[in-house]
């Protein structure tokens, strides 16, 4: 079980698309439901392990989803009618 959870985590870290996450979520919901219904003694241990893995996944996803940006310093000069566009993030220019 631990190996399969680790493999699922690795897949999510490689492909963090919504489709991959949804597919793995459904798969594990069914697998875990089967395990919980088949042996109630394992429920507590499994719940603890799932909580640990979920926290680890959330931490990993948060670290990759929010890159840290320190201070940004930009200098530019336009000459001869030139234009300057600067951004420390996303930029959309709609000139024609």
- Residue 94 in this model has a pLDDT that exceeds 80: yes
> How far apart (Å, rounded) are the C-alpha atoms in residues 44 and 10?
25
Average pLDDT, the chain: 82
- Residue 71 in this model has a pLDDT that exceeds 80: no
pLDDT value of residue 69 = 60
Q: Give the pLDDT band of residue 52 (cuts 50, 70, 90).
A: very high
pLDDT value of residue 67 = 61
Q: pLDDT tens digits for 34-44? A: 877 888 778 88
């Amino acid at each position: 079980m631990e190996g399969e959870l680790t493999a699922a985590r690795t897949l999510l870290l490689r492909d963090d698309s919504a489709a991959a996450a949804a597919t793995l979520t459904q798969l594990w919901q069914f697998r875990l439901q089967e395990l919980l219904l088949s042996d109630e003694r394992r429920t507590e241990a499994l719940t603890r392990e799932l909580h640990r893995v979920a926290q680890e996944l959330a931490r990993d996803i948060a670290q990759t989803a929010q890159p840290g940006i320190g201070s940004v310093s930009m200098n530019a000069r336009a000459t001869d009618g030139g234009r300057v566009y600067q951004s420390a993030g996303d930029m959309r220019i709609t000139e024609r």
